[in-house]
């Protein structure tokens, strides 16, 4: 039953986002392990395999599979240029996405504080530095109750955690 419900949630997600492609077996496996089996997953996949689509679809599939809404995915990446590209690519699929940095506009900060941004990209330094506002923000009830996944992208580029 869980497999059928998960498959339906994936199909609804792809239709809702108007994505006209079939997910690869490993992409589906990662999504199923995260969403259905509630596992922590390390997905080491080749460049160009479609890792971004995995974490950008998690929230929509979760919303349909578990029947919740307003879930949030936090993506940690050490490469600013990559994050800027990913924001554009994710937003092209109809999902609101921002790169959380010190240079955010007040409007974007308000969106982040209210939990209305479903995909948030940020650097490890922004998240793990003791004095950052982002660390405090993610400790709030909004984020504690609504974060569906935390993804680490390009982890091989991080020299120290």
For the chain, counts of helices (H) and of strands (E): 8, 4
pLDDT at 1: 54
Per residue in 58-91, pLDDT (tens digit) is 888 887 787 777 889 999 888 888 888 989 988 8
pLDDT at 141: 93
Task: Indicate the domain borders of the chain.
Answer: 2-157
* 158 pLDDT tier (thresholds 50, 70, 90): low
Report the predicted TM-score, pTM, of the whole model to 2 decimal places. Answer: 0.85
Tell me which residue of 50, 96, 100, 95 sits closest to 75, measured CA to CA: 100
Is 56:27 a contact under the CB 8 Å cutoff?
A: no
**Dihedral, CA of residue 13, residue 16, residue 17 and residue 21, to nearest 10:** 70
Of 3.40.50.980, 3.40.605.10, 3.30.70.1140, 3.40.50.300, the CATH number of 2-157 is 3.40.50.300
- pLDDT exceeds 90 at position 159: no
Per residue in 10-66, pLDDT (tens digit) is 998 888 888 888 999 999 999 999 999 989 888 888 888 988 888 888 888 887 787
Helix (H) or strand (E) segment spanning residue 150: strand 147-152
């Amino acid at each position: 039953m869980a497999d059928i419900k998960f498959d339906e949630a994936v199909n609804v997600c792809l239709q809702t986002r108007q994505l006209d492609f079939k997910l690869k077996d490993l992409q589906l496996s990662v999504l199923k392990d995260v969403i259905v089996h509630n596992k922590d997953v390390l997905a080491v996949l080749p460049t160009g395999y479609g890792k971004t689509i995995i974490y950008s679809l998690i929230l929509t599939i979760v919303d349909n599979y578990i029947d919740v809404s307003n879930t949030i995915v936090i993506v940690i990446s050490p490469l600013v240029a990559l994050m800027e590209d990913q924001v554009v690519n994710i937003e092209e699929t109809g999902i609101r996405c921002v790169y959380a940095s010190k240079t955010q506009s007040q409007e974007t900060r308000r969106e982040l504080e209210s939990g209305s941004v479903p995909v948030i990209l940020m650097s490890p330094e922004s998240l793990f530095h003791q004095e950052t506002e982002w660390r405090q923000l993610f400790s709030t009830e909004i984020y504690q109750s609504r974060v569906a996944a935390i993804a680490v992208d390009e982890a091989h580029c991080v020299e120290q955690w």
